[in-house]
Chain A
Amino acid sequence: GQQLNQSPQSMFIQEGEDVSMNCTSSSIFNTWLWYKQDPGEGPVLLIALYKAGELTSNGRLTAQFGITRKDSFLNISASIPSDVGIYFCAARGGGSQGNLIFGKGTKLSVKP
């Protein structure tokens, strides 16, 4: 079946650092989404991408829909402590049968 490979699995950030994570697949998708989940809560939508090559920002967050339609990237600039959490990519194929599938997440923690 379709799978999303999200990397890295986890990373440590120091305040002020830029962060990058990505999601890849062997399948082609029409929609890419990025969600963030805080402990004990449901995921919250950060960015939605609908067109290959599209680059979209939401404050310090920037995401890109890969030109091959098989990948997507999320960058966080100048990280702050409240950026910690789990970031999930999600993707959807086309048509009415295209359900959303999720990657396994990238866990962002603060450097000790």
Chain B
Amino acid sequence: GDSVTQMEGPVTLSEEAFLTINCTYTATGYPSLFWYVQYPGEGLQLLLKATKADDKGSNKGFEATYRKETTSFHLEKGSVQVSDSAVYFCALRTTGGFKTIFGAGTRLFVKA
């Protein structure tokens, strides 16, 4: 069945460091891929998405490229801030699919 695998956390970085959170997926058909962010005590918010191969989603300095050949959608940011501390979820949704499949989440701590 469809699934999403994320790198385990927590990830701890210093402010202004480069961030990569790995995400790979298994899916039939042609899924859309998403990154969601969850700040402490809140629900999930859409961070970015990509709907077809080679698309790049970007928002708030974060980027992720839909790589069909490696079935990956890694999240990157060139310079993290303390305010980026949160849990990040990779997700997919397939054509005609009813459910969104979420990864287990990766917690990011950014220290000043």
Chain A partners chain B: no
